[in-house]
Amino acid sequence: MKTFLYDGCFEGFLTALSLALDSGDACAISKENAEEAGLFSEFINAGTDQQRAATARDLIERRGSAESWQHIRFAFLSEVPGAETAIFEYVKLLLEKGPAADNMLADDRVKKVHGLSAKVGGEAHRFKGFVRFKELADKTLYSKIEPDHNILALLVPHFRARLGTFNWVIHDARRNNAALYFNGKLVYAPLAAALILEDAKEAEVRKLWKHFFKTAAIAERVNPKLQRQNVPLKYRKNLTEFDK
């Protein structure tokens, strides 16, 4: 079996996908250095070929639909081991069946990719609520997040629409990556650790919020299980109101 390796970026993945489709054999696609790369495989470095990537996208949108393209993009962002090969199997089905493939919801290949895509979309929606900004001394709003999936780019348009008059940073500390929005311009940049100097008023507002949060619960209805379902423990360390 052939395993096509790519460097981790989406264009690299599309290049590998396109090569795998061309090879016609049973293939796998995997990130370089990924643990799941099998021992008995023939490894091929796909590299990143913008032209090939663009052709692959075009092919998917032509044979599938805008919906299929979105599922692929989201499933890729899941960063779940095996997602790449799952997408490859799904694309083969798209090429065979056309847009009708997306109706085959009980087919394991479709279910897998749709499921990953839903996970990513779901987490991105959750984080529209879970991002917590701190105001820094220079009035920049800073937020640290550690999501399971690589959702930063999906969050940015949301915050751009509502906090367009501020400067802000959303820092994915799990992937050492940040979206920086300054004076109406957006850039992504690698960011390992951020040195934070809080605004003088910050602690006071935080205290008010934590106080509000505590008060808003009705003692007679306390239900930690339901609370855990909605705010899983893994997300709580970056949520102001759960700070000890």
Partner 1 sequence: MDLEKKLEILADSAKYDASCASSGSDRGGAGGTGAAHLSGVCHSWTADGRCISLLKILMTNECVYDCAYCVNRRTNDTPKAILTPDEIAGLTFEFYKRNYIEGLFLSSGITVSPDRTMELMLEAVRKLRQVFRFNGYVHMKVIPGADQALIDQAGLWADRVSVNIELPTDKSLRLLAPGKTKETVLGPMSRLAQKISASKDERRSIKSSPAFAPAGQSTQLIIGATPETDREIIKLSEALYGKMCLKRVYYSAFVPVTKDSRLPALLSPPLLREHRLYQADWLLRFYGFKADELLDEKHPTLDLSFDPKTVWALNNLHLFPLEVNKASYEEILRAPGIGVTSAKRILRARRTAPLSLDDLKKLGVVMKRAVYFVTAGGKYGGLKKETGEAIKIKLLEHKNPNGQLDLFGEKELVKEGLAGTVTGQL
Give residues in contact with partner 1 (CB under 8 A): 97, 100, 103-106, 108, 111, 125, 128-135, 141, 143, 158-159, 161-166, 205, 207-209, 211-227, 229-231, 239-241
Rounded to a whole number of angstroms, the minimum distance from the CB of residue 199 to partner 1 is 11
Q: Please, which residues have CB within 8 angstroms of residue 229's CB and are 6 or more apart in sequence?
A: none
- Rounded distance, CA 95 to CA 168, Å? 42
Backbone angles phi, psi at 10, to 5 degrees: -65, -40
Rounded to a whole number of angstroms, the minimum distance from the CB of residue 205 to partner 1 is 5
Return the number of the residue (43 or 212) whose C-beta is nearest partner 1: 212
Rounded to a whole number of angstroms, the minimum distance from the CB of residue 155 to partner 1 is 10
Given a contact cutoff of 8 angstroms between Cβ atoms, the answer to whether 46 and 4 are in contact is: yes
- Rounded distance, CA 94 to CA 64, Å? 6
Return the number of the residue (32 or 234) whose C-beta is nearest partner 1: 234
Rounded to a whole number of angstroms, the minimum distance from the CB of residue 182 to partner 1 is 16
- Rounded distance, CA 224 to CA 228, Å? 6
Rounded to a whole number of angstroms, the minimum distance from the CB of residue 54 to partner 1 is 30
Return the number of the residue (188 or 213) whose C-beta is nearest partner 1: 213
Consecutive H or E run containing 229: helix 224-230
**Single-letter code of the amino acid located at 32:** E
- Rounded distance, CA 92 to CA 86, Å? 10
Return the number of the residue (42 or 204) whose C-beta is nearest partner 1: 204
2 exposure class (CB count in 10 Å sphere: 0-12, 13-18, 19+): middle
Return the number of the residue (35 or 220) whose C-beta is nearest partner 1: 220
